[in-house]
Chains A and B, each alone.
Chain A
Amino acid sequence: MCRNSCIVYTGPFSNLETCPTCGTSRWQEERLQGTHGRSKTPAQTFTTIPIGPQLQALHQNKDSAADMDYLRRRTEDVLQQIRETGSIPVIDNIVMGWDYLGAVLDGDIKPQDIVLMVSLNGAQLYDSKESDCWIYIWIIVNLPPDKRYRKLHVRPGGFIPGPHKPKNIDSFLFPGIHHLAALQAEGLPIWNARTDSRYISDLYLIFTTADGPGLVYWNGMVGHSGKNGCRMYCGVLSRRKTRGKHYYPALLKPRDRCTQGSDHLDINVFKLPPGGCAEYANHLRTIVSVPNQTQWDKQKTKTGLTKPPLILALSPS
């Protein structure tokens, strides 16, 4: 990776010798010069821990394989309940969420599949700026809730060393997400110790989480002070002050004065659209097809998007 944490030499950057952002060399220059260009040692490296083998290992022990069965059992219970009563009276798990149930009913999540969440966050490991780093972790939804969030079962996905903030975080996430995409394409072979059976498991990434500002790395949206800044992408437009740059999600229109573009009518809080605006696909198409920077700036404000997110490469998108 770049020594200033601008980019990682992955994907479209993999053949570069210098960082396109800060211009520093990819290699340890003394070594490179000393050996007349023969020894190429990276100036800085970062770690990605593949999730696949960890998931396979979880099935190779009878107890943990039984734990991994929790999601399937729970899903059956819930579906049974819906069939009998026609409703979900109590929500106490992701299993009861429409997102998950919808994916199960559509056949995107099958009984033997593995469901994952990923979470990205900046961290300061101890009291010094030097220890700043970025971490992402996998949470395995198949496990029962009392084990799922335990230290033992939270799987680190990768570490991005600081102290500089990573500028192109997509390139850092690339190896981990690429690994996941490959497993999705080919399936993950599992030997299950509990049932002594072999099968192919598909991986399903259900949620991506991060702290508020970190979310933009996953979804390619504008920051939360953008005009279309709602993190759930509900499509409600924010308002700004006459000479201000930041937008705020005030639903009611200011009565004293109001700048153009922020003067839309009052919005009824009880009639707010849910997240995941239907216009997302159209907006994304607009933002990837803009011809130049000026247009991009304009469309960015309007749509609240900056780029297609890396996770769109995953199935089903």
Chain B
Amino acid sequence: MTTDIMHLAGNISDLLISLWRGTIDHAVDDDPADWPWAVLSDEDVWRAHGDAVERAGHFLPSSYDRKPRNIAEKINTQYKTWEFQLYIFGLAPILLYNLLPTEYWANYCKLVRGFQIMCQSTLSKEELLDAHALLCSWEHEFELIYYRLQESRIHFVRPCVHQVVHLVSETIFKGPPICYAQWTMECTIGNLGEQIRQPSKPFANLSREGVR
């Protein structure tokens, strides 16, 4: 079975954002106000952060194709996976500098660098070793500083946290993750969706387009 870095990027983004905003489920006596990492839980800070994301878009090279939208405004209206990926693995490390406590920021940076390496289409042996060290130590620290070995917080350790640790060994077995990511599938769905001309009978139409 293969890991899919597209959904992985989406799931990790979702986990980290809900931790930083303090929106993740928690026990009654475990108040997000006491969480040192919940730096985006304040509504004003979160709005300002969203504006910063939008403004940062102007400085992206044109090779990035499109700008990510304001995350604070659009998060509930189909913020796309590529936008999350650009945010979590591109912009947020800079925007959260001095905002996240150093310990958490440093931990997060390990994930970002490790994941960026794993998204490359060409990977050298040295890069793989580097990424493995970064991602494994991220996972270990993540458990120590967020979950803190408290049973009521065990759900912070979502499956995606564990998946990250397998990325490097999977690459050695299967080749670069990008080669078998689900982007192709989503793109095909988009293509076929566009081609449907008769919404009343979508499936008949789709099957015909597919056959063509």
Question: Which residues of A line the B interface, CB within 8 A?
Answer: 46-47, 49, 87-100, 117, 119, 121, 123, 125-126, 128, 130-131, 133, 135, 137, 139, 145, 149, 151, 154, 156, 159, 161, 207-212, 215, 218-219, 221, 224-225, 229-234, 236, 239-242, 244, 246, 248-258, 269-270, 272, 274-276
The interface bits of chain B over 176-212 (1 if a CB of A lies within 8 angstroms of the residue's CB, else 0) are: 1001101111111101110010010011001100110
Q: A211-B182, A255-B150 in contact; A92/B176 too (CB < 8 A)?
A: yes
Measured CB to CB, the closest approach of chain A to B196, in angstroms, equals: 6
Q: A92-B122, A232-B166 in contact; A156/B155 too (CB < 8 A)?
A: no
A154 to chain B: which residues have CB within 8 Å? 184, 187-188
Bound CA span A88–B196, Å: 45
Q: Is the CB of B189 within 8 A of A251?
A: no
Q: Is the CB of B170 within 8 A of A232?
A: yes
Q: How many A-B residue pairs have CB under 8 A?
A: 213
Q: Is the CB of B193 within 8 A of A208?
A: no
Q: List 7 A-B contacts (CB under 8 A).
A: A47-B206, A149-B183, A151-B188, A211-B7, A230-B163, A232-B163, A275-B173
Q: Is the CB of A161 within 8 A of B203?
A: yes
B174 to chain A: which residues have CB within 8 Å? 94, 97-100, 207
Q: Is the CB of A274 within 8 A of B169?
A: yes
Q: A209-B180, A231-B159, A254-B154 in contact; A125/B193 too (CB < 8 A)?
A: yes
Other-chain residue from A93, A250, A257 in contact with B143 (beta carbon distance below 8 A):
A250
Q: Is the CB of B191 within 8 A of A94?
A: no
Q: Is the CB of A208 within 8 A of B1?
A: yes
Q: A212-B4, A218-B1 in contact; A241/B155 too (CB < 8 A)?
A: yes
Q: Is the CB of B122 within 8 A of A248?
A: no
B111 to chain A: which residues have CB within 8 Å? none
Tell me whether B74 is interfacial, beta carbon within 8 Å: no
Q: Is the CB of A100 within 8 A of B175?
A: yes
Measured CB to CB, the closest approach of chain B to A14, in angstroms, equals: 21
Counting chain A CB atoms within 10 Å of each CB, which of B122, B128, B192, B196 scores highest? B192
Q: A100-B175, A218-B1 in contact; A249/B193 too (CB < 8 A)?
A: no
Measured CB to CB, the closest approach of chain A to B118, in angstroms, equals: 11
Bound CA span A90–B140, Å: 28
B31 to chain A: which residues have CB within 8 Å? none
Measured CB to CB, the closest approach of chain B to A232, in angstroms, equals: 5
Q: Is the CB of B202 within 8 A of A269?
A: no
Known: A159-B210, A212-B7. 6 other contacts (CB 8 A): A46-B207, A47-B203, A90-B125, A94-B175, A239-B154, A269-B136
Q: Closest residue of chain B to A94, judged by CB? A: B175
Measured CB to CB, the closest approach of chain B to A273, in angstroms, equals: 9
B185 to chain A: which residues have CB within 8 Å? 119, 121, 135, 137, 209
Bound CA span A231–B11, Å: 14
B151 to chain A: which residues have CB within 8 Å? 241-242, 254, 256-258
Bound CA span A46–B203, Å: 8
Q: Which of B121-171 contact A (CB under 8 A)?
A: 121-125, 128, 136-137, 139-140, 143-144, 147, 149-152, 154-159, 161-163, 165-166, 169-171
The interface bits of chain B over 78-94 (1 if a CB of A lies within 8 angstroms of the residue's CB, else 0) are: 00000000000000000
Q: Closest residue of chain A to B207, judged by CB? A: A47
Bound CA span A244–B92, Å: 33
Q: Is the CB of A255 within 8 A of B149?
A: yes
Tell me whether B3 is interfacial, beta carbon within 8 Å: yes
Bound CA span A207–B7, Å: 17
The 6 closest A-B pairs by CB, nearest first: A249-B162, A94-B175, A47-B207, A161-B203, A97-B175, A156-B210
